[in-house]
Amino acid sequence: MSQPRIKRCVGKYEVGRTIGEGTFAKVKFARNSETGEPVALKILDKEKVLKHKMAEQIKREIATMKLIRHPNVVRLYEVIGSKTKIFIVLEFVTGGEPFDKIVNHGRMREDEARRYFQQLINAVDYCHSRGVYHRDLKPENLLLDAYDNLKVSDFGLSALSQQVREDGLLHTTCGTPNYAAPEVLNDRGYDGATADLWSCGVILFVLLAGYLPFDDFNLMNLYKKISVAEFTCPPWLSFSAMKLITRILDPNPMTRITIPEILQDEWFKKDYKPPVFEEKVDTNLDDVEAVFKDSEEHHVTEKREEQPTTMNAFELISMSKGLNLGNLFDAEQGFKRETRFTSKCPANEIIHKIEEAAKPLGFDMRLENVKAGRKGNLNVATECGWISLWGNDEFHTI
């Protein structure tokens, strides 16, 4: 028989299954119980965030992200905090990841890759123009919506991934430097804009080639290859695609192609559609402030509730003495009937409904053993004059 479902709520969000483990957080599916809207909840450990004195930077980044509205950037709706956790409420993106397509079907046609790349550049350009840099662009951060549009996630949340670096988790969860620019690996300080562009170049290469431009089992060798941009384009690449990739994967950030130059590139320009987005964004940042204040009044509660299980007909029959088909054949037991049902409604609502239905029929209702509380039992006894036998058209008096 099905077990009672545990319902977990964070504020107004009903939390569901785990979607995945990101680089710095667990991601869960959730639903806004007021609007029914699905969301993705990124869950962070508050203690870790605060321990590393990253709060100010993370707060700034989250606040900036709330101001970003772009069709190719995963929307950050709000941030909420409980006593121990920080929940970043994000737009739920349903179409999977473009890199799953490569894993399942191999490299993409140039037209398809170009469309994703154009959307990626649109997102990156928009965020850069607002002073937000990704600093960790890689396949896991690219999602697809139901209309096959690219959405970049974790934009501007670089403080969070740096946090993981300090925790040492980078080596296990986001340990791959394959997408990082040479100047990022040198770690001598870098410009976020040009570094992001390099990663876009690696992403474009993977979309078109089906494999990484820089790869080596040995990390030192990999670093060397990246630092001098040692890669070879596959023979099936068009000359103009190859030219663009080579201009992006320039190891010198000072001479690397810029976004305005990419927008003028022949290969890039084909079928380009400029993005349409909301210019005016009116956003309240009180929630961001509240999460990082340590007073209890700002915390949401995390609740776990046992949900009534929805039962199928067989489960109902097996639970219920009254509905045991044996009763129909065992004369000794008489016609005592018991019907069980489950409902998500509160007890008083159920009682009210039963009374409403029973009164006009002249039934005498008695309520027994009503225990208050979430899991209290409720027995309703009624003296009734009529009963309908299951599967029989006639009514029998008892």
Q: Which residues are annotated as a binding site?
A: 42
Closest C-alpha among 302, 308, 300 to residue 346: 308
DSSP type of residue 24 = S
Q: Which x/- pattern over 136-175 shows residues binding ligand 3AM (rule: CB under 6 A)?
A: ----x--x---------x----------------------
- Which distant-in-sequence residues (6+ apart) come within 8 Å of 91 by Cβ? 39, 40, 74, 75, 76, 77, 151
Per CB under 6 A, the list member of 10, 15, 27, 202 interacting with ligand 3AM is 27
Q: Which is nearer to ligand 3AM, 212 or 350 (CB)?
A: 212
Q: Choose the stretch contacting ligand 3AM; rule: CB under 6 A; options: 17-25, 233-241, 352-360, 387-395.
A: 17-25
Measured CA to CA, the distance from residue 349 to residue 138 in angstroms comes to 52
Q: Per CB under 6 A, does 346 bind ligand 3AM?
A: no
Among 8, 12, 16, 19, binds ligand 3AM (CB under 6 A): 19
End-to-end CA distance of the chain: 33
**Residues in the annotated binding site for ATP:** 42
Select from 49, 90, 209, 244 the one that contacts ligand 3AM (CB under 6 A).
Answer: 90
Count CB-CB contacts under 10 A for residue 137.
26
**Cα separation of 240 and 265, whole Å?**
9
**What residues have CB less than 8 Å from 110, skipping those under 6 apart?**
208, 238, 241
Nearest CB to ligand 3AM, comparing residues 90 and 159: 90
Using CB under 6 A, which of the segments 16-24, 113-121, 281-289, 368-376 binds ligand 3AM?
16-24
State in angstroms the smallest separation of the CB of 212 from ligand 3AM. Answer: 17
* Total chain residues near ligand 3AM (CB under 6 A): 15
Q: How many residues does this entry show for the chain?
A: 398
Question: Which entry of 125, 136, 154, 265 is annotated as an active-site residue?
Answer: 136
Q: Which of 334, 333, 335, 338 is nearest to 322 (CA)?
A: 338
- For this structure, is 215 an active site residue? no
Q: Which residue has the tokens 């993106």?
A: 93
Which residues of this protein are in contact with ligand 3AM, per CB under 6 A?
19-22, 27, 40, 74, 90-93, 97, 140, 143, 153
| Residues annotated catalytic, as ranges | 136
